[in-house]
């Protein structure tokens, strides 16, 4: 029987969830609370619509532009040339989004970690989706991986919807709206539910 409260809760939902958790094992979700929202947003944009390995490579090239430090500052990113950022593998649209994040951080529109922790999920989502190129999914990655929120279900994520389709052996994925409704039963542990749905084995 799972010992983590979240996995116990999910395993008790039905036989499909119990079998998934038994197959995957303990939840090994590893948030990075030391990352400021600025860095978390930049990272999320890098991974938008890409496999993890491709996102890793692009981020590695971005960091290599600024030797001697772990990550570019907002000022450095805002001042970087289009050519240098395109050379990392970012599209022109993503470059505009990244530099918009950097400028919004300098302007105070992207809050620091302490301020972000004082906002609830929807407050932070509504604040940050005002930035060009930033959608709900991007902010949800910030909530999951940096702010350690436990009840986030990124229903726009293809992998989450595909995981649920495989879990329930459905012919097609649920729509984001359908999954949002289905996922209400997984609260208050929807972040852990998403972690497992990303890992549903293929047949």
Residue 71 to residue 169: CA distance in whole angstroms: 42
Question: Mean per-residue pLDDT for 136-160?
Answer: 95
Residue 92 confidence class, pLDDT cut points 50, 70, 90: very high
Residues 80 and 100: beta-carbon distance below 8 Å:
no
DSSP state of 33: T
Nearest partner of 66 among 52, 78, 56, judged by Cα: 78
Tens digits of per-residue pLDDT, 50-78? Answer: 778 888 999 999 999 999 999 999 999 99
Residues 109-130 have a mean pLDDT of 95
Q: How many CB atoms lie within 10 A of CB 170?
A: 12
CATH class held by domain 3-28+151-196 = mainly alpha
CA distance 121 to 147: 10
Instruction: Provide the residue ranges of all domains of the chain, joining segments of one domain with +.
Output: 3-28+151-196, 35-145
Amino acid 52: pLDDT: 80
Question: Residue 111 — pLDDT band, cuts 50, 70, 90?
Answer: very high
Virtual torsion, Cα 55, 112, 146, 136, nearest 10 deg = -70
User: Which residues have a catalytic role annotated?
Assistant: 157
Q: What tens digit of pLDDT does each residue of 175-189 get?
A: 999 999 999 999 999
Could you tell me which residues come within 8 angstroms of residue 15 by beta carbon, excluding any fewer than 6 positions away? none
pLDDT value at residue 146: 93
CATH architecture assignment, domain 35-145 = Orthogonal Bundle (1.10)
Report whether pLDDT(118) > 90: yes
- pLDDT tens across 25-40, in order? 999 999 998 999 999 9
- Average pLDDT along the chain: 94
Determine the pLDDT at residue 49.
75
Rg (CA), the chain: 18
Residue 1's pLDDT is 52
């Amino acid at each position: 029987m799972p010992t983590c409260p979240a996995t116990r809760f999910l395993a008790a939902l039905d036989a499909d969830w119990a079998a998934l958790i038994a197959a995957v094992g303990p939840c090994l979700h590893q948030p990075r609370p030391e990352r400021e929202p600025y860095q978390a947003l930049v990272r999320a944009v890098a991974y938008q619509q890409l496999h993890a390995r491709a996102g890793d490579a692009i981020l590695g090239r971005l960091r290599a532009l600024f030797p001697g430090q772990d990550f570019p500052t907002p000022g450095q990113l805002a001042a970087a040339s289009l050519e240098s950022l395109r050379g990392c593998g970012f599209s022109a649209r993503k470059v505009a989004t990244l530099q918009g994040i950097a400028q919004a951080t300098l302007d105070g529109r992207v809050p620091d970690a302490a301020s972000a922790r004082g906002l609830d999920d929807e407050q932070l989502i509504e604040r940050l989706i005002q930035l060009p190129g930033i959608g709900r999914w991007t902010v949800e990655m910030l909530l999951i991986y940096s702010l350690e929120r436990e009840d986030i279900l990124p229903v726009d994520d293809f992998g989450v919807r595909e995981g649920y389709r495989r879990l329930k052996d459905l012919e097609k994925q649920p729509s984001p709206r359908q999954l949002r409704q289905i996922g209400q039963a997984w609260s208050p542990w929807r972040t852990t539910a998403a972690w497992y749905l990303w890992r549903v084995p293929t047949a």
